[in-house]
């Protein structure tokens, strides 16, 4: 018998894994960013479910922070993408290797 | 012992202020010298005031403050003045003032006299710390302080390589000796539990406590102090630095290397006398070392050509006399000789400085001659100094040397006495040889022809010291002449116990006195007769060569000690430093470089590969956690 909690956690794991694979495999930076968002959403689900299991507001309040940071991150990343695109005319991730050691 | 509280610290601090003022403000001549002299004189006045409060059996104590504490060991920065040290205090500050005054004129044409006077005042400070500290740690502080100042002043004219080397030689040789002092200090702290001199003396006076410590401690302590004294007070085997120390300006030779610093070994000995008096074997060693030093130095002095070298070896020889007195169990006689020697040797050095000044820095006595007419005052002063050191009747040296010879005869027998007597006769010979070559006959060179008398500021200290050299001996008239013995009574009052005294018969004393007096007179007349016409053509036989080349002691030390050490140093620097430490550092540096290169493979620059590594890392951690 699969409970609601198990279902939600399963969905969260699937979201996180899909996000990870997306981030690791997609060449386009915007799609990779989408993968990150997916991962964050998976984590948010876990947080909400954990809060419900413990019967307190800690999980949901922590989720609010994650949403906040994700929004900021998305705004920042998109603006960087705009600049990069204007400068180089493409957003292919593997072509940006200036941090190579 | 009657203990009175008094403020002694200003005696020390005033010369320190003088040193700081001269060092910081770089005063012009003659103000630098005058400030220094004033500081030393103020210290002398304070010393005199403190001295007037003294009486035998009184101890002036300045409690000072707690310097540091480590475990049960407490070291106080406190000062004390006994009747014995009070006498020395007057010598240090009194003779010091005269020498400062002399130096004010002597150094006035130098490039940076303020530096000289700063060092000189600092020396006086260190010497006073050495003399006044209650604690052996404080004494050691002064001991090292005078060593540093000696080094700075010997190498004062550092533009010349030889002077710097002489300074380093003095400093390093003294460091070898200082090891003995440190050793004794540690022994005192470990076994006596205190480093305060008076507490050590009460401690060893208690037989029940003495029984508790190993028997080797006391002789080892005494030997440590003696080893330190052979360094500072120029005895065999560490005397070699003193003749080289003449590279410094002459007032330095007079103050540091004749009157005060070189006697500090004897001062420490006399302060700790109750301890040494129980160590008969150590005193035996001290005695024979001293006799050997006195004789060796005198034998070297008879052939030297440099006026200051003659005086330097003479100082070594006279220090040998003082240690011989200590070895013979006569600390008061030794200290009396310290006081008289401070007067006449300072006089001789200052006069030599005046002569060298007049000769335009030529020191070779073979190039002098006939200066009697050119420099009449210096001539008188030097003659007085020679007469005093040779021990002509009623001069300072006569009284002090006579006591030493009598004590040695009394306790060490004929052999030691006759060796010391020979040294005394040689003293008379070489002093009058240098006198005759310098002042008698006709000028032998251009410089001697044009020599000129020095300034009054130089002559005044000479006259004062001449008077002292003639008169200071009357402090202690031989007891066969007069029953009152001022000096002994005064000095012995600083100990709480009686010295063992066995008097010789009156006839023996008269005999000893006349032998020494007649002998030194004869040696003096022989020297004058031989050398008044100028240097005698030397037949260079082996004995003469040995003496002229200082018995090759420096060469032997260089061959067997300095060179092996140098080779060891070179070996260490190439093997250990270059290959070991540097090689090790370079090796580890290479290791970091290679591992860095290997790890930088993972630094692809691609964001996604970093994320992949993170995922693998997390998986790895998760897997490890599962295993645990």
With beta carbons less than 8 A apart as the criterion, state whether B358 and B453 touch.
yes
Residues of B in contact with A25 (CB under 8 A): 608
**Can you name the residues that pair with B196 across neighbouring β-strands?**
B135
Residues of B in contact with A95 (CB under 8 A): none
**Can you name the residues that pair with B74 across neighbouring β-strands?**
B69
Report the alpha-carbon distance of residue B426 to residue B411 in Å, rounded: 23
Please give the residue of chain B at the shortest CA–CA distance from A17. B615
Residue A94 sits at the chain B interface (C-beta within 8 Å): yes
With beta carbons less than 8 A apart as the criterion, state whether A23 and A39 touch.
yes
Residue B605 sits at the chain A interface (C-beta within 8 Å): yes
**Can you name the residues that pair with B59 across neighbouring β-strands?**
B3
Would you state the pLDDT for residue B504? 74
Residue B597 sits at the chain A interface (C-beta within 8 Å): no
Interchain pair B605, A96: CB under 8 A: yes
Would you state the pLDDT for residue B151? 94
Token pair, residue B530, equals: 């031989």
- Please list the rounded mean pLDDT of every run of 10 residues in chain B (628 residues): 85 94 87 92 94 87 89 88 91 94 90 91 95 93 94 92 92 93 93 88 85 89 94 90 91 91 92 89 94 93 90 94 92 92 94 90 85 89 94 89 90 90 94 91 84 87 92 81 77 71 77 89 90 76 82 88 91 88 87 89 85 92 92
Interchain pair A99, B605: CB under 8 A: yes
With beta carbons less than 8 A apart as the criterion, state whether B366 and B444 touch.
yes
Interchain pair A20, B603: CB under 8 A: no
Report the alpha-carbon distance of residue B54 to residue B86 in Å, rounded: 8
Interchain pair A97, B605: CB under 8 A: yes
Would you state the pLDDT for residue A1? 61
With beta carbons less than 8 A apart as the criterion, state whether B438 and B541 touch.
no
How many other C-beta atoms are found inside a 10 Å radius of the C-beta of residue B208? 6
Report the alpha-carbon distance of residue B396 to residue B468 in Å, rounded: 8
Residues of A in contact with B606 (CB under 8 A): 93-94, 96-97
Would you state the pLDDT for residue B413? 83
**What ipTM was predicted for this assembly?**
0.86
With beta carbons less than 8 A apart as the criterion, state whether B230 and B238 touch.
yes
Please give the residue of chain A at the shortest CA–CA distance from B613. A24
DSSP secondary structure letters along B120-145: HHHHHHHHHHHHHBSBHHHHHHHHHH
Please give the residue of chain B at the shortest CA–CA distance from A96. B606
Interchain pair B607, A93: CB under 8 A: yes
How many interface pairs between A and B have CB atoms less than 8 angstroms apart? 32
Which of B 430-459 lie inside 8 A of A, CB atoms?
A: none
Nearest to A23 among B605, B606, B608 (CB): B608
Distance of CA B65 to the CA centre of its chain: 28
Nearest to A20 among B602, B606, B615 (CB): B615
Residue A91 sits at the chain B interface (C-beta within 8 Å): no
Interchain pair B603, A96: CB under 8 A: no
Token pair, residue B137, equals: 């740690």
**Can you name the residues that pair with B463 across neighbouring β-strands?**
none
A38 Cβ neighbours under 8 A, 6+ residues apart: A15, A16, A18, A19, A22
Residues of A in contact with B615 (CB under 8 A): 20, 24
> Cα angle at B332 between B331 and B333, to 5 degrees?
90
| DSSP-derived secondary structure letter, B259 | I
Residue B598 sits at the chain A interface (C-beta within 8 Å): no
Q: Which helix (H) or strand (E) holds B602?
A: none
Interface test with A, best of B593, B597, B602, B606 (most A CBs within 10 A): B606
Token pair, residue A97, equals: 């290797």
Please give the residue of chain A at the shortest CA–CA distance from B603. A101
With beta carbons less than 8 A apart as the criterion, state whether A24 and B608 touch.
yes
Report chain B's C-alpha Rg in angstroms. 29
Q: Torsions phi, psi of B426, nearest 5?
A: -60, -40
How far apart are the CA of B149 and the nearest CA of chain A, in angstroms?
59
Residue A93 sits at the chain B interface (C-beta within 8 Å): yes
Report the alpha-carbon distance of residue B495 to residue B283 in Å, rounded: 19
Q: Which helix (H) or strand (E) holds B65?
A: strand B58-70
Residue A99 sits at the chain B interface (C-beta within 8 Å): yes
Please give the residue of chain B at the shortest CA–CA distance from A98. B605
Nearest to A24 among B603, B604, B611 (CB): B611
Q: How many CA atoms lie within 13 A of B7 on its CB side?
A: 5
**CA-to-CA separations, A17 to A13, A23, A29, A67, in angstroms, rounded:** 6, 10, 18, 19
B48 Cβ neighbours under 8 A, 6+ residues apart: B90
Residue A30 sits at the chain B interface (C-beta within 8 Å): no
How far apart are the CA of A79 and the nearest CA of chain B, in angstroms?
18
Please give the residue of chain A at the shortest CA–CA distance from B611. A24
Nearest to B605 among A23, A25, A98 (CB): A98
Report the alpha-carbon distance of residue B328 to residue B290 in Å, rounded: 10
How many other C-beta atoms are found inside a 10 Å radius of the C-beta of residue B115? 18
**CA-to-CA separations, B370 to A100, B445, B517, in angstroms, rounded:** 91, 10, 28
With beta carbons less than 8 A apart as the criterion, state whether B200 and B136 touch.
yes
Interchain pair B606, A98: CB under 8 A: no
Interchain pair A101, B608: CB under 8 A: no
Residues of A in contact with B604 (CB under 8 A): 97, 100
Residues of A in contact with B605 (CB under 8 A): 96-101
Report the alpha-carbon distance of residue B124 to residue B15 in Å, rounded: 7
Residue B611 sits at the chain A interface (C-beta within 8 Å): yes
Q: If you count them, how many residues does chain B have?
A: 628
Would you state the pLDDT for residue B498? 63
Q: What is the dihedral of CA B219, B223, B224, B227, to 10 degrees?
A: 180
Residue A96 sits at the chain B interface (C-beta within 8 Å): yes
| Exposed e or buried b per residue across B140-178, where buried means at least 16 C-beta atoms within 10 angstroms of its C-beta | bbbbbbbbebbbbbbbbbeeeeebbebbebbbebbebbb
Residues of B in contact with A23 (CB under 8 A): 608, 611
How far apart are the CA of A33 and the nearest CA of chain B, in angstroms?
11
Please give the residue of chain B at the shortest CA–CA distance from A26. B608
Would you state the pLDDT for residue B502? 63
Interchain pair B600, A101: CB under 8 A: yes
Token pair, residue B69, equals: 């504490």
Rounded (to 5) percent helix, strand, coil in chain A: 80, 0, 15
Helical spans, DSSP H, in B482-538: 486-492, 506-531
Residues of A in contact with B600 (CB under 8 A): 101
């Amino acid at each position: 018998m699969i409970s609601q909690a198990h279902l939600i956690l399963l969905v969260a794991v699937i979201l996180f894994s899909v996000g990870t694979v997306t981030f690791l495999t997609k060449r386009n930076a915007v799609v990779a960013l989408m993968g990150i968002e997916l991962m964050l959403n998976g984590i948010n689900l876990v947080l909400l479910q954990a809060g419900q299991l413990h019967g307190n507001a800690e999980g949901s309040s922590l989720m609010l922070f994650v949403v906040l940071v994700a929004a900021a991150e998305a705004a920042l990343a998109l603006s960087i993408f705009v600049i990069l695109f204007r400068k180089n005319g493409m957003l292919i991730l593997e072509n940006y290797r200036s941090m190579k050691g | 012992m009657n203990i009175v509280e008094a403020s002694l610290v200003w005696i020390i601090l005033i010369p320190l202020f003088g040193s700081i003022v001269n060092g910081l403000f770089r005063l012009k001549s003659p103000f630098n010298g005058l400030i220094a002299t004033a500081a030393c004189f103020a210290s002398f006045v304070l010393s005199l005031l403190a001295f007037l409060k003294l009486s035998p059996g009184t101890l002036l104590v300045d409690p000072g403050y707690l310097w540091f504490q480590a475990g049960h060991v407490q070291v106080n920065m406190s000062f004390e003045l006994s009747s014995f040290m009070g006498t020395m205090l007057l010598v240090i500050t009194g003779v010091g003032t005269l020498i400062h005054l002399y130096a004010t004129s002597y150094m006035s044409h130098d490039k940076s006299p303020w530096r000289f006077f700063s060092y000189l005042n600092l020396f006086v400070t260190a010497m006073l710390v050495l003399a006044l500290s209650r604690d052996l740690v404080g004494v050691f502080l002064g001991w090292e302080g005078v060593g540093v100042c000696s080094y700075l002043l010997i190498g004062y004219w550092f533009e010349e390589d030889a002077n710097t080397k002489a300074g380093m030689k003095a400093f390093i040789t003294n460091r070898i000796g200082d090891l003995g002092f440190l050793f004794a200090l540690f022994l005192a702290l470990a076994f006596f539990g205190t480093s305060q001199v008076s507490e050590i003396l009460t401690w060893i006076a208690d037989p029940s406590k003495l029984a508790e410590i190993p028997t080797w401690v006391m002789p080892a302590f005494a030997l440590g102090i003696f080893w330190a004294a052979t360094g500072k007070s120029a005895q065999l085997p560490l005397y070699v630095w003193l003749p080289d120390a003449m590279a410094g300006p002459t007032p330095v030779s007079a103050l540091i290397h004749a009157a005060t610093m070189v006697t500090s070994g004897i001062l420490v000995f006399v302060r700790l006398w109750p301890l040494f008096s129980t160590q008969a074997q150590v005193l035996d060693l001290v005695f024979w070392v001293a006799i050997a030093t006195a004789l060796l130095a005198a034998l070297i002095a008879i052939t030297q050509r440099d006026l200051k070298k003659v005086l330097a070896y003479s100082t070594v020889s006279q220090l040998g006399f003082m240690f011989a007195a200590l070895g013979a169990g006569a600390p008061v006689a030794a200290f009396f000789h310290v006081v008289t020697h401070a007067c006449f040797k300072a006089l001789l050095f200052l006069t030599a400085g005046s002569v060298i000044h007049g000769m335009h820095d030529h020191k070779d006595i073979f190039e002098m001659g006939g200066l009697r007419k050119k420099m009449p005052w210096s001539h008188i002063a030097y003659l007085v100094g020679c007469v005093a050191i040779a021990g002509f009747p009623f001069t300072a040296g006569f009284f002090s040397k006579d006591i030493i010879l009598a004590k040695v005869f009394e306790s060490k027998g004929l052999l030691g006495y006759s060796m010391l007597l020979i040294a005394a006769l040689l003293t008379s010979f070489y002093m009058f040889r240098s006198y005759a070559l310098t002042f008698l006959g006709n000028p032998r060179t251009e410089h001697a022809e044009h020599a000129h008398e020095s300034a009054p500021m130089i002559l005044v200290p000479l006259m004062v010291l001449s008077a002292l050299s003639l008169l200071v001996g009357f402090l202690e008239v031989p007891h066969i002449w007069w029953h009152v013995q001022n000096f002994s009574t005064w000095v012995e009052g600083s100990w709480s116990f009686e010295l063992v005294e066995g008097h010789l018969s009156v006839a023996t004393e008269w005999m000893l006195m006349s032998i020494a007096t007649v002998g030194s007179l004869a040696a003096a007349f022989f020297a004058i007769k031989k050398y008044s016409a100028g240097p005698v053509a030397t037949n260079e036989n082996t004995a003469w060569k040995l003496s002229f080349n200082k018995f090759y002691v420096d060469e032997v030390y260089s061959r067997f000690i300095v060179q092996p050490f140098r080779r060891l140093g070179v070996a260490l620097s190439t093997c250990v430093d270059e290959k070991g430490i540097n090689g090790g550092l370079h090796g580890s540096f290479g290791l970091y470089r290679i591992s860095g290169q290997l790890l930088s493979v993972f630094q692809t620059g691609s964001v996604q590969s970093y994320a992949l590594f993170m995922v693998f890392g997390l998986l790895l951690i998760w897997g490890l956690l599962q295993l645990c």
